[in-house]
Copies of this chain bind each other. A is one copy, B any other.
Amino acid sequence: MSAPLFNALLELADDHLILGHRVSEWCGHAPLLEEDLAMPNMALDMIGAARSLYTYAGEIEGEGRDEDQLAYLRYDRDYKNCLLVERPNEDFAHTMLKQLYFAAFMHPYWEAALQSSDETVRGIAGKSVKEVAYHIRHAGEWVVRLGDGTEESAQRMQDAVTELHPYVEELFHMSADAQAAADKGALPDREAMRAQWTNTISNVFDQAKLTMPEVEYPQLGGRTGHHGEEMGHLLSDLQYMQRAYPNMSW
């Protein structure tokens, strides 16, 4: 069991690290000061969850790797995050929609994880479920404002939907490791979140006057480390210190 749970935890941890990284890129560059506070706040939640997940994954693995070794010292092809979270920020519409899509998935996921057979998972879920509810609220409000704002903002929001929607399916995708962890009751079944996700998003989209596109071919591959090209550049910044100054304490 330990290898599948380790891998399934890495999937979750990488999602949080990479999305946290993307939101944090806005820090000091947000369109209004309130968002210069809200975005680091979401980033902090994401990084916080990533830390707990990496730490626990490291314990499960039992080879003495700590959160930083797991977060910083792997190669591009070893990261298991879904493709949605690594997409570049583009504009504020993309950023908020990405956050909403992810949070609308994680909220029912963490709620289900409150029933996990694994005590540590239950603990992480308990903390995260509240944070993610706020992300849905915050990002959802912006999607509504922008979708039903000016002509320009509506166009940008709809463009973001067109661009990001193909990455949604991967959220529900079960890797073999995720399946094994679900079979043991340690982590929830991702597929089971679909109804709630659709419900949350439809609700927001109704208010935002956005239409949900049909996706013929979803974009998959992140869970097996098949990332886009932007990922490598993200990693060269992320890993810089750990790579340039190996084996030091900070």
Contact = CB atoms under 8 A, between A and B. Distances in A.
Contact of A237 (B236, B244, B246): B236
Nearest to A242: B243
Contacts of A243: 239-240, 243-244
A75 interface: yes
Contact of A75 (B232, B233, B244): B244
Nearest to A74: B244
Interface in A115-129: none
A16 to B, nearest CB: 22
Interface in A171-217: none
A237 to B, nearest CB: 5
A233 B244 CA distance: 13
A88 B218 CA distance: 36
Nearest to A246: B246
B244 A239 contact: yes
A124 to B, nearest CB: 29
**Most B CB atoms within 10 A — which of A75, A232, A235, A243?**
A243
A88 to B, nearest CB: 15
Interface of A: 75, 232-233, 235-237, 239-240, 243-244, 246
Q: Which 8 A-B pairs have the closest CB atoms?
A: A243-B243, A236-B240, A236-B236, A236-B237, A243-B244, A233-B237, A239-B244, A75-B244
9 contacts: A75-B244, A235-B240, A236-B236, A236-B237, A236-B240, A239-B244, A240-B243, A243-B243, A243-B244
Given A235-B240, A236-B236, A239-B244, 11 more contacts: A75-B244, A232-B240, A233-B237, A236-B237, A236-B240, A239-B240, A239-B243, A240-B243, A243-B243, A243-B244, A246-B246
